[in-house]
Amino acid sequence: MAKQKASLPVIRRRIGGVGLLRWAVRVASSIVLWTALLQLSTFFGLPLSPLRAARPSCIGNRNTSATASAVTAVASDDVGDLAPPALPTRRSYRSNGYLLVSCNGGLNQMRAAICDMVTVARYLNLTMVVPELDKQSFWADPSDFGDIFDVNHFIYSLRDEVKVIRELPHKFNGKVPLSMQPVSWSSEKYYLRQILPLVRKHKVIRFSRTDSRLANNGLPLKLQKLRCHVNYNALRFTPSIEALGNNMISSLRKTGSFVVLHLRYEMDMLAFSGCTHGCSGQETAELTRMRYAYPWWKEKEIDSEKKRLEGLCPLTPGETTLVLKALGIPRDTRIYIASGEIYGGEKRLAALKAEFPNIVRKEMLLSEDELHLFQKHSTQMAALDYLVSVASDVFIPSNDGNMAKVVEGHRRFMGFHRTIQLDRKKLVELIDLFEDQELSWNEFCTAVKELHEGRMSQPTRRKVIAGQPKEEDYFYANPYECLGPARKRREKLKHTET
């Protein structure tokens, strides 16, 4: 009995020790579990805070860290159904085959095409291979998808919609897939009736061109929202591009707000559009030779002046300078020029710099080493311009190309941030009248301001023109279906008050 009594305290101490040990293990396990969850959240790119808390004001100084996060975050207000769940559950479906896509064009044309192709893959229950990017066009950028976009984020953020794989299974090695170009501006019914039977027959299909292959309008709402989900959530630039873009935005924010001028006046734009207003005879001849040197460009003989008067040419740097002044842009405004190399160099920018001395180019914000990394990678360079353009206080494109449209739509999605949509057709008429001294400066300014009162990205529905998809409003410029009604009413009121 004495031995038993003596052993009781020992037993109690052992039991107490075991309890403490279990408690310590539970605490340690909880810490490990929470750490793992945080790592997974980061890996999947899940938003940790709503965009509205990070969205900067359009007037005055902004918080630079908030601006940086706002560039890539997904708007949470009224569009929560577009954001992925905390941990996307893989959608289980029987795949009808594999879809390969070879995107063509510049960054933003390819970006929109990827959104369309993911939507097609989802609708037809296909397995999609990570898209191939254009390496054959004028820009000759050798970048792969993973050099520009975050592949892991792309795959995992879409796992609840469509299965995306990095490459075809080995069993298809050596097999030449059926290659074709889908009909432009097609509805979902075209893909269901014409494409799905081909995929089922051949198992693998490649779309060799992907630009504008899905209609702007008339698609089911869930497909339109999926296009937005891909564009504003799944397509995220690589961490290195995001970091560099955020550094550029922070540098621009040091002195307050800034404007982005998308000055589309590069050599390729002028050559292929035939827009030579303001160019010398020698420059016009050079641009014409370049156009004829590319056999894939069908339109060779172009009436430059006719296109200009129809509003189909970008404004020249000189014309843009007049318009900015007439709109009342203050002289000391910091203006970032989003573009490639301006045709004509510094000489063409002389008037713009004289009127707006705080002109900034990416070459002024990046080090020589950083610039060197982007040499011969124009698509990656365009990604930096995209980030800065989306984050700006005001975005002003001098034409209505793919970047202008896609950036405008992204800014609408983030809260109808101001984009001034220049009416080039009427502007060139006013500019010619002013330069011919038929309008005074005050009359010119008044006319320009009145012309653009309703062209500041106010909430509106897309213009639909049956049978003329090229003439109607582009889906990615105004993704109306993805903007909640409460937000539209609020933003419409905000624009009315300002």
The CATH code of the domain that includes 246 is 3.40.50.11350
pLDDT attached to residue 240:
95
Whether 295 is in a domain gets the answer no
Same domain, 370 and 489: yes
pLDDT attached to residue 488:
55
pLDDT attached to residue 65:
36
For residue 432 the two structure tokens come to: 């010619």
- Return the axis-axis angle of helices 346-355 and 317-326, rounded to nearest 10°: 10
Whether 62 is in a domain gets the answer no
Same domain, 386 and 260: yes
Q: Per this entry, what is the length of the chain?
A: 498
Q: DSSP 3-state assignment of 296?
A: coil
Q: DSSP 3-state assignment of 149?
A: strand
DSSP letter for each residue of 356-409: ---EE-HHHHS-HHHHHHTTT-HHHHHHHHHHHHHHSSEEEESS-SHHHHHHHH
CB 129 within 8 A of CB 93: no
Same domain, 358 and 227: no
pLDDT attached to residue 95:
96
Q: Give how many domains the chain has, as a whole number.
A: 2
pTM surpassing 0.75? yes
Nearest residue to 415 (alpha-carbon basis) of 108, 64, 68, 71:
71
Whether 147 is in a domain gets the answer yes
Residue listed under structure tokens 């202008």: 404
Domain boundary among 192, 211, 234: 234
Whether 271 is in a domain gets the answer no
Same domain, 168 and 250: no
CA angle centred on 197, ends 191 and 201, rounded to 5°: 140
Same domain, 485 and 369: yes
pLDDT attached to residue 135:
81
Residue listed under structure tokens 């937005």: 228
Same domain, 368 and 484: yes
pLDDT attached to residue 263:
95
Q: How far apart are CA 56 and CA 54, in angstroms?
A: 6
pLDDT attached to residue 52:
33
Same domain, 340 and 447: yes
Same domain, 251 and 389: yes
Same domain, 245 and 176: no
Residue listed under structure tokens 């903007």: 483
Domain holding 163: CATH number?
A: 3.40.50
Same domain, 387 and 431: yes
pLDDT attached to residue 87:
62
Domain boundary among 234, 253, 286: 234
For residue 429 the two structure tokens come to: 């008429």
Q: Across the 498 residues of the chain, what is the mean pLDDT of every consecutive 10-residue run?
A: 44 45 54 48 38 33 36 37 61 94 94 98 98 80 94 96 96 90 97 98 96 96 98 97 97 95 93 94 94 85 95 96 97 95 93 97 92 86 97 96 96 94 97 98 98 91 92 96 67 47
Nearest residue to 103 (alpha-carbon basis) of 168, 155, 71, 149:
149
Same domain, 217 and 259: no
Same domain, 319 and 252: yes
Helix (H) or strand (E) holding 73: none
Q: Enumerate residues 6+ apart whose C-beta is below 8 A from 278.
A: 316, 318, 319
Whether 415 is in a domain gets the answer yes
Whether 44 is in a domain gets the answer no
pLDDT attached to residue 384:
97
Q: Enumerate residues 6+ apart whose C-beta is below 8 A from 96.
A: 124, 125, 126, 196, 199, 200
Whether 244 is in a domain gets the answer yes
In the sheet with 335-337, reading across from the earlier edge strand, the strands are 359-360, 335-337, 259-262, 394-397
pLDDT attached to residue 28:
55
For residue 134 the two structure tokens come to: 């254009």
Helix (H) or strand (E) holding 260: strand 259-262
Whether 450 is in a domain gets the answer yes
Domain hosting 346: range is 239-265+314-497
Residue listed under structure tokens 């873009």: 245
